[in-house]
Amino acid sequence: MQFVYALRSKGVTDGRVLTAMEKVDRAKFVRGIFADRAYDDMPLPISSGQTISQPSVVGLMTQALQVSNRDKVLEIGTGSGYQAAILSHLARRVYTIDRYRRIVSEARGVFEELDLGNIIPFAGDGSYGLPEHAPFDRILVTAAAEDPPPLLLAQLRVGGIMVVPVGQSDAVQNLIRVTRTDTGYEYDELRQVRFVPLVEGMGD
Ligand code: SAH
């Protein structure tokens, strides 16, 4: 309950998002010595030098994505799998990609343990998206890109929304919401964030 109060105080007010976040135990996605910090509002280290995002940032990004239970969602940057697990309670189906095979296989294990059957994890370079499953109603990028990746924009359906941190990886980035319209794309700046970079190619 403390966890939900903390989220509310940081601006996560959408009831569906808060309910989904209440259902997903963050401790399942954090290993070893950091497990007892799972309910703190801070990013934590996971495998392969990556991080599980701060819960309030996960909440604000999920809220900005305006997911409905009919949506097919693509997430770039599976990491711990925490964000995908929250999306799985809000969407019809969640495709998630990470460039580290180890990260994907660990996340897949947690999705199976939690019986989250509507998440489909892939190992691959997320900058290419998943053309064979496009178009997507929603796309969430959880690594910082220098610009919204053009191949991902192309896989958004008309009326669809993409949320992506944009900026250099060593600086503060802007969280951007892109809405695809009949004639092009509309961009809104939401807030400042800090994410690890979107890196081309597969990880080790
Ligand atoms: N959403 C995650 C946190 C993401 S951390 C969570 O809920 O825990 C960012 C992740 O993006 C890292 O795991 C990193 O390996 C991945 N990543 C970076 N560049 C990528 C790319 N081009 N394709 C796929 N994944 C990428």
For the chain, the C-alpha Rg in angstroms (whole number) is: 15
Tokens of 163: 């949320």
* Residue 53 CB–ligand 1 contact under 6 Å: yes
* Main-chain dihedrals φ then ψ at residue 179, nearest 5 degrees: -115, 125
Residue ranges covered by each domain of the chain? 2-193
Q: Which residue puts its alpha carbon closest to atom 10 of ligand 1?
A: 77
Atom of ligand 1 nearest to the CA of 79: 13
Q: Among residues 9, 47, 48, 53, which one is catalytic?
A: 53
CATH number of 2-193: 3.40.50.150
Per-block mean pLDDT, blocks of 10 residues, the chain (204 long): 90 97 96 90 91 95 98 97 98 98 97 98 97 98 96 98 93 95 97 93 90
**pTM (global) more than 0.85:** yes
